[in-house]
Amino acid sequence: MRKQFEQQLELDIIPISEVEITTKTRHELPQLLQGLQYIFVTPSLNEEVFTILSKKLLAGKKQTGRPGMTLWEVFVLGCVRLNLDTNYDMLHDLANQHVELRSILGIHRFHFNDIGKTYGLSTLKENVRLLDEETLKEINAVVVKAGHELKKKNSAKIS
């Protein structure tokens, strides 16, 4: 049974909305993580994206079985793979080692003896491939629309 995502607030996990992302870099990943964080914390945008993901990934599935990866994890890792144009081996390494990415996934722990949830290579392959091009284009349209609305709001404040 796949769930959207509900971050369990625990002492050693920072809420996704409070994750500090490095901005002094030319690498693509921090910009993507900031965009994903914005999607997560903006209720209307979050709802639209999860509706699209649910329609694609949960259609015709029974509400039983193992929990597996959440819709949020599949979405974030799918975006990372697409944005960085990387293979599953690199995605596997990033998902298990990159602190900011793991924080946006909502799984990074700050205890040195307990790194928290880890992903197997086959788990990533089986889940991330579920996001097809059509679904990503649909989500992209929603995100671009939200970006235009945000730009209009910022322009109105400046004027």
Residue percentage of the chain with pLDDT more than 90: 58
Query: Can you tell me which residue has the tokens 């944005």?
Result: 83
**Residue extents of the structural domains in the chain:** 16-158
Q: Do 116 and 109 contact (CB within 8 A), yes or no?
A: yes
Most confident of 17-21, 25-29, 90-94: 90-94
Q: What is the pTM of this model?
A: 0.87
Q: Do 74 and 126 contact (CB within 8 A), yes or no?
A: no
Distances (CA, A) of 124 to 30, 51, 77: 21, 22, 8
Nearest to 61 by CA among 126, 139, 122, 2: 2
47 pLDDT above the threshold of 80: yes
pLDDT of residue 1: 46
Q: Residues 30, 12, 34, CA angle at the centre, nearest 5°?
A: 15
Greater pLDDT, 119 or 1: 119
